[in-house]
């Protein structure tokens, strides 16, 4: 079996329509009702933390990080991370996550928050948020609310209500 190679690059305007199609295919119309989507739609993604993975000219996946506040803690909300079905389980999602996390740690943010599958995101250092520590502005499954603090202080200080923007 041959190994796929992916090129990672910052998301550009020319990628937007393909990314939107990928989101439609991956998450369907129900995505608009999800709390994380509602938070993200109130703020533009951080351009320097939005990436695409391509393979031989085809969009394999994308990731975006949007600025939020958790109480007074300057943080990011992941999402969505989406991988085209033809490229699932081939490493595109892992590469996108690793790049987004590494670049975010170099900026003035304290943590990354997401609503997602613990079994997938734990490999990147995400931890379940203790009940009541972080409050999303709508319903979320508390077992799917995950945080990647960039240091021990952030783990303790990123508490409170999530709000879009800085």
Among candidates 116, 114, 122, 127, which has minimal Cα distance to 156? 127
Output the six-digit token pair for 99: 């790049």
pLDDT at residue number 1: 39
pLDDT at residue number 67: 97
Q: Which residue has the tokens 């590469």?
A: 95
The one-character DSSP state at 4 is P
Q: Whole-prediction pTM value?
A: 0.91
Average pLDDT, rounded, for the chain: 91
**36: number of Cβ within 10 Å:** 23
For residue range 101-145, list pLDDT tens digits in order: 999 999 999 999 999 999 999 999 999 999 999 999 999 999 999
Beta bridge partners of 55: 58
Please give the radius of gyration of the chain, using alpha carbons only, rounded to the nearest integer.
15
pLDDT at residue number 31: 58
For residue range 133-154, list pLDDT tens digits in order: 999 999 999 999 999 999 988 8
* Terminal Cα distance for the chain, rounded: 46
Name the more confident of 102 and 25.
102
- Tell me the fold of 8-164: Aminopeptidase (3.40.630)
For residue range 67-86, list pLDDT tens digits in order: 999 999 999 999 899 999 99
Output the six-digit token pair for 26: 């991956």
The one-character DSSP state at 130 is P
pLDDT at residue number 25: 80
pLDDT at residue number 69: 97
Task: Kindly report which listed range (4-13, 35-44, 133-142) carries the lowest average pLDDT score.
Answer: 35-44
pLDDT at residue number 101: 98
- Contacts of 1 by beta carbon, 8 Å cutoff, 6+ apart: none
How far apart CA 35 and CA 139 sit, in angstroms, is 6
């Amino acid at each position: 079996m041959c190994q796929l190679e992916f090129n990672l690059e910052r998301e550009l305007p020319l990628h937007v329509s393909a990314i939107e199609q990928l989101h439609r295919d991956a998450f369907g119309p129900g995505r608009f009702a999800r709390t994380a989507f509602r938070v993200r739609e109130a703020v533009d993604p951080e351009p320097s933390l939005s990436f695409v993975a391509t393979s031989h000219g085809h969009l394999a996946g994308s990731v975006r990080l949007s600025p939020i506040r958790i109480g007074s803690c300057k943080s990011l909300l992941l999402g969505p991370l989406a991988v085209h079905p033809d490229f699932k389980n081939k490493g595109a999602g892992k590469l996108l996550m690793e790049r987004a996390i590494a670049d975010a740690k170099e900026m003035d943010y304290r943590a990354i928050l997401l609503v997602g599958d613990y079994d997938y995101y734990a490999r990147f250092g995400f931890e379940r948020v203790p009940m009541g520590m972080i409050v999303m502005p709508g319903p979320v499954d508390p077992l799917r609310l995950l945080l990647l603090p960039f240091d021990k202080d952030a783990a303790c200080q990123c508490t409170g209500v999530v709000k879009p923007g800085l």
